[in-house]
Structure 1
Amino acid sequence: MSTSSASAIAAMEQPPEKLSMVVIMGTTGAGKSYFINKLAGYEAVEEGTQACQMVPAHLGNSKVLLIDTPGFDDTTRPDSEILTEIATILSAQYKLGVDLKGVIYVHRITDIRYGRSSVKTFEICQKVCGDAALENVLLVTSRWFEVDPVLGADRERQLRDKFWAYMLNQGSHMSRFHGDRDSAIALISQLLSKDAIVLQLQKELVDDGKHLDDTVAGSYVSDNLEHFKSKCHEELKALQRVREDLKDDRAILRQHQQDVASEKARLKEAHDQQVSLHKPINAEVDNKIKTGKFQFRSLLAFIPSVLSILGMFVGIPPGVTDVFTSWMAN
């Protein structure tokens, strides 16, 4: 173990505390799962996470729950569904009293441009956190081994001076992940030494009792859907104008009908996603926690019911269940 890694763990050698959690966010392929696997010390999760997953890590005397999240550029799940899943987990963690130490946002330094998907994922992350929690947000660049150091440093400077400037000015920190366990431990130790935080989304959902679409993050996703719906309406109007000019060519008419049906389906899907955001997450989480407390009341003492209940809200990767048992017994 390197000197930096040993120092990081030494800083965490305190009397055992209650469970803490760190959430990992970023676009698909940024290296979130790889980072988590380095902290866990084994291949706990696969790259390309399509659902949130919970992985335990034992760092010194600190027992940390790492939450791997999908990117908001996932091609198989809509943003509304991913945000709902993250919001539900965060609400449960807050209600169960598990300390949230912070959020780590991972970004590929190999990205030539800061594309639309990166902007969207980053902005949702920022709105989930809120300004008051930004001191517990760590902005991490990954995949340094794949880029020329000079070019990487130039991209890092652009991130610092432009895209990440606001959050950095509000107290967030920027660091490099060099791809090994020592580097991962050194990074997460920056958060584990801090006091626990409450994110803006948690305050809005739990303390204020808002529906997801009334929160800052939810409104952002809903507004994007509204913009998409407007484009669909415009496309349907354009198709209607084309229909009026069409001759009685059956092949062309058939294709036109398919185009209209496809656009209407896209419009309905966007509408359904907006509707899904209008849900009382706070009440749903309350009910599920009550059910969980009843179900897990007879568990062995070394497996806290809090951990078991939290597992009702977030997936546990195959093979990790046994690790949880031994992890809590030590």
Structure 2
Amino acid sequence: MPRPKTVKSPAPTPQPSTPSDQRKGHVSKSSRTLDDTATTSYILVMGSTGTGKSTVGIFINLTATVELSKTFEHKSQRIVMVDTPGFDDTIKSDVDVLTTIANYLAHLYREGIQIRGIVYMHRITDNRMGGTALRNFRMFEAICGQSARRNAIIVLNMWDQVKKDVAEAREKELRESDLFFKAAVTAGARTMRHWGSRESAIPILDNLINQPPVALAIQREIVEERKAIHLTAAGLTLLGDLAAKEAKHDEELGRIREEREEARSRRDVDEERDLEEAQKRLEDLRQKLADEQRKLRDATTTGRRVSRRAQTSTQSSSSCCCCS
């Protein structure tokens, strides 16, 4: 296994900062630099879209490409927080999201850079944990693996937007239910509350940087075991989700075909036309799911190649937006 080393700067090449970049979460350089002997801690941030990931710190934004964030200092450590797109992104498919995350994490591992902590963001405002949230959490568990859960914190965000008794009841259910976070908590993950304030963010950061660095499951699988992305635990989880959706569409298509035949026998032209349109939409969705599965299986080469954009460079520093 590659040995962790002291890092003088984050891996990716910085991109020019423009007003558009800043709206996306990009940051410009600062003239002040940290002591070159300081250790850089990489913290991965995961969760569904809209869970408030940007409220915990400054991020490398993986939504389009891997880009360099402003490094901030906390208790004599350089810190880089890596914001990952959710597996419900409005622009990128789940396959693209997984490939982006896998490539970046594999690059860090090859460079001997290990993750210090993992944050999984969940809105305490949600009165139920629906399919999207469950899918994101399954992918989080598959990417991290069993041994990395002790480095993980499940941050229950937006605590300030819910009545205390309601939030506490939801927290208890999330921690104790086999359907939600119980297995992760049993394996060593912790839950912490976040009110969207500096005061509630600092304890989260303190807990993260006090952990020893860890190799994530997907890093070991791609780099050490030389697995293609679709054969990693995360890849197999995603393939299973895509196949389940495809099977559901197949079942629905069968029902619609039967109803079309009935409408045709009754000579109900309007209903037959509506059902024909519904069938076409489902067939298009089914084809997209099949295409996504093929794309994931073809992602082998991409998963094993280090991006040439990921080059070491001198980096700037600042205070964390939640700790200044």
Same fold (TM over 0.5): yes
Work out the CA distance in 2 between the residues paired with 1:200 and 1:173: 19
> TM-score, normalized by length of structure 1?
0.75
Answer yes or no: is 1:21 the counterpart of 2:15: no
Q: How many residues align?
A: 279
Structural mapping, 1:86-165, within 5 Å: 86-162=101-177, 163-165=180-182
**Which residue of structure 1 lines up, in the alignment, with residue 74 of structure 2?**
59
Match of 1:262 among 281, 301, 308: 281
Answer yes or no: is 1:327 the counterpart of 2:317: yes
Deviation at 1:242, TM superposition (A): 2.6
Write out per-residue CA displacement over residues 5-63 of structure 1, whole angstroms, 9 at most, x where no aligned residue.
Answer: xxxxxxxx9993343211111122211012125xx8xxx98xxx955765333223211
Give the direction of change, closer, same or farther, for the CA distance of 1:158–1:243 in structure 2 (3 Å limit).
closer
Give the direction of change, closer, same or farther, for the CA distance of 1:117–1:292 in structure 2 (3 Å limit).
closer
Deviation at 1:280, TM superposition (A): 4.7
Work out the CA distance in 1 between the residues paired with 2:35 and 2:166: 40
**Which residue of structure 2 lines up, in the alignment, with residue 284 of structure 1?**
302
Give the direction of change, closer, same or farther, for the CA distance of 1:288–1:238 in structure 2 (3 Å limit).
same
Deviation at 1:178, TM superposition (A): 2.6
Structural mapping, 1:244-323, within 5 Å: 244-247=261-264, 251-281=270-300, 283-284=301-302, 287-289=305-307, 291-292=308-309, 305-306=311-312, 308=313
**Which residue of structure 1 lines up, in the alignment, with residue 52 of structure 2?**
31
Structure 1 residue runs of 5 or longer lacking an equivalent are: 1-12, 294-304, 309-323
Conserved 8 A contact 2:43-2:81: yes
**Which residue of structure 2 lines up, in the alignment, with residue 80 of structure 1?**
95
**2:227 aligns to what SS in structure 1?**
coil
Conserved 8 A contact 1:210-1:280: no
Conserved 8 A contact 2:116-2:208: yes
Deviation at 1:270, TM superposition (A): 0.2
Give the direction of change, closer, same or farther, for the CA distance of 1:285–1:124 in structure 2 (3 Å limit).
closer
**1:171 aligns to what SS in structure 2?**
coil
Structure 2 residue runs of 5 or longer lacking an equivalent are: 1-33, 319-324
Conserved 8 A contact 1:130-1:200: yes
Q: Quick one: which amino acid aligns to residue 199 of structure 1?
A: L
Conserved 8 A contact 1:18-1:99: no
**Which residue of structure 2 lines up, in the alignment, with residue 173 of structure 1?**
190
Conserved 8 A contact 2:230-2:236: yes
Q: Quick one: which amino acid aligns to residue 237 of structure 1?
A: G
Conserved 8 A contact 2:152-2:190: yes
Structural mapping, 1:39-50, within 5 Å: 50=63
Write out per-residue CA displacement over residues 46-85 of structure 1, whole angstroms, 9 at most, x where no aligned residue.
Answer: xxx9557653332232111111122223344332221221
**Which residue of structure 2 lines up, in the alignment, with residue 316 of structure 1?**
none
**Which residue of structure 2 lines up, in the alignment, with residue 214 of structure 1?**
231
Answer yes or no: is 1:205 the counterpart of 2:237: no
CA RMSD of aligned residues (A): 2.7
Write out per-residue CA displacement over residues 66-112 of structure 1, whole angstroms, 9 at most, x where no aligned residue.
Answer: 11122223344332221221111111111122231021011111111
Conserved 8 A contact 2:223-2:304: no
Q: Larger RCO: Structure 1 or Structure 2 (Cα < 8 Å, ≥ 6 residues apart)?
A: 2
Q: Which has the larger share of helix?
A: 1
